[in-house]
Structure 1
Amino acid sequence: MLGMKVKGVVLLLGLEILSQKRAKDVAYHWEKMLLCKQEEAGIQLNAEQADWRDDTDDESDDQELEAHYMYMAKLQQVSLNVDSGPIFDKEPE
């Protein structure tokens, strides 16, 4: 029973991290969209905006790769199979 509670806590923690990441991603994409719309409208970006845009062009690929590896690491740490328990709950065979 303890194993299921621990798994539940880890799962909830993972969901909280995903929620925070999604909020960050929404803000990132919103800013990127606004800069693109300004450029399309012919409004010149200031130096700080242009630098940020240039720096973030490859960042989305990096973020996707990082998210993938974080997800894979979480899958290795937590088994979602309800029938399985932690190793210390099993009798030696």
Structure 2
Amino acid sequence: MVKLKLYVNLKFEDNSWSAFIEKELELDIIPSVGDTVVDNGLDFEVKSRRFYLEGCVSLSLDQVFEMVDDRDKKEVLTRMKKSGWYYKDPSLFDLLKL
């Protein structure tokens, strides 16, 4: 198992809202640049990956779905929170209040 740190900058289609969201997990494989990562019904494309000496891999992702309004944002953030995504420090920030 490899420890992965996932990072994505979520944003509205018109760039009027954005937030940098993170998640940590362990997988048997490391996705390659260009691969699609599916998490709780949301698709992300691997934009870049970095390997660290301590055995951790960092993946930067791009969202492959559209968000155009607050309704979309609420649905996406609810799905992400349920699957373990967080904003900065989860003890200080509620993902659903961004």
TM-score by length of 2: 0.27
Specify which structure has the higher proportion of helix.
Answer: 1
Larger Rg: 1
Structure number with greater CO (CA < 8 Å, separation at least 6) is: 1
